């Protein structure tokens, strides 16, 4: 299923979207980059079954932190279940995209006339080699959940190195998720 630009939406809408504010469980603590220690930027809200995946990436000093590696601490993905509410956003750091874009799922052939901003499910379309992460809890390869493309402009897009792609994975039994990108 391809994801196309569905236009703007509310910053806390419980829909597939880039930007806005993450919907999180009670007690959530905003993630920080392990390298620069700055607050991570929220990229995407991806509803998944009875919860959602929230994707974050370091954008405090682009290119200086290892934000492409799922285990280096420059990005984070969380698989949340249960009641979710808008997160408290830190006052410091590059924490939010400049715009909120709904991602509308459409069958592959129907997306041909529209700018594709990603896709759900299937297999990752790797730009480099296969980098499927393993679950930190059970060590099994994680399941591919979504692929994100850079947006139309700086306000709506993640920086994946210019023409890169982001990849979201999850291990539902363990409640784990991971994010990485390639260019």
pLDDT tens, position by position, 25-35: 999 999 999 99
Per residue in 119-162, pLDDT tens?
999 999 999 999 999 999 999 999 999 999 987 777 777 778 78
- Judge contact between 30 and 87, C-beta under 8 A: yes
Q: Which helix (H) or strand (E) holds 1?
A: none
The fraction of the chain above a pLDDT of 90, given in percent, is 70
Q: Which of 65, 124, 149, 54 is nearest to 132 (CA)?
A: 124
Q: Is the pLDDT of residue 177 over 70?
A: yes
Q: Which residues pair with 23 in a beta bridge?
A: 86
What sign has the CA pseudo-torsion 19, 21, 25, 31? positive
What pLDDT band is residue 109 in, cutting at 50, 70 and 90? low
Q: What is the pTM of this model?
A: 0.93
């Amino acid at each position: 299923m391809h994801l196309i630009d569905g236009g703007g939406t509310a910053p806390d809408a419980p829909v597939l979207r880039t930007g806005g504010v993450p919907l999180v469980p009670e007690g959530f603590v905003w993630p920080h980059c392990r390298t620069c220690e700055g607050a991570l930027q929220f990229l995407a809200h991806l509803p998944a079954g009875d919860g959602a995946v929230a994707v974050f990436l370091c954008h405090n000093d682009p290119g200086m932190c290892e934000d492409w590696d799922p285990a280096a601490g420059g990005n984070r993905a969380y698989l949340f279940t249960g009641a979710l509410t808008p997160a408290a956003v830190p006052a410091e750091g590059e924490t939010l995209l400049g715009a909120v874009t709904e991602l509308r799922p459409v069958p592959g052939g129907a997306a041909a006339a529209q700018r594709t901003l990603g896709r759900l499910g299937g297999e990752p379309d790797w730009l480099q080699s296969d980098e499927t992460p393993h679950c930190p809890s059970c060590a099994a390869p994680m399941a591919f959940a979504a692929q994100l493309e850079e947006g139309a402009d700086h306000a709506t897009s993640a920086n994946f190195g210019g023409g890169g792609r982001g990849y979201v994975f999850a291990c539902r039994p363990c409640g784990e998720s991971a994010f990485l990108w390639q260019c």
